[in-house]
Amino acid sequence: PDEVIERDETRELVSMTLSNLPPQYRDALTAKYIDGRSLEAIAAAGATTIDAVKSQLRRARAAFRECFLALARLEVTDV
């Protein structure tokens, strides 16, 4: 039961984090990690290069991490 609650809380934090990211970061992370698209497919859809996609994903992951940790701290202080 505790694991289920923690998993649900994490899922909610991930959802909240994604919704707080700029659209281009949210789209890049969703394409790669939720839809499972390859770097090549993401680059082709965005009419850009694989290196540009890698760079955008790197920035998006950093923004995600920062936002996720901030929201997690808020959750802890709300308890």
User: Along the 79 residues of the chain, how does pLDDT read in single tens digits?
Assistant: 677 777 888 899 999 999 999 999 999 999 999 999 999 999 999 999 999 999 999 999 999 999 999 998 887 676 5
The pLDDT value given to residue 1: 66
The pLDDT value given to residue 7: 84
The pLDDT value given to residue 14: 94
H helices, E strands: number in the chain: 4, 0
Query: What single DSSP character describes residue 47?
Result: T
What's the N-to-C CA distance of the chain in angstroms?
18
Structure token pair of residue 20? 């707080």
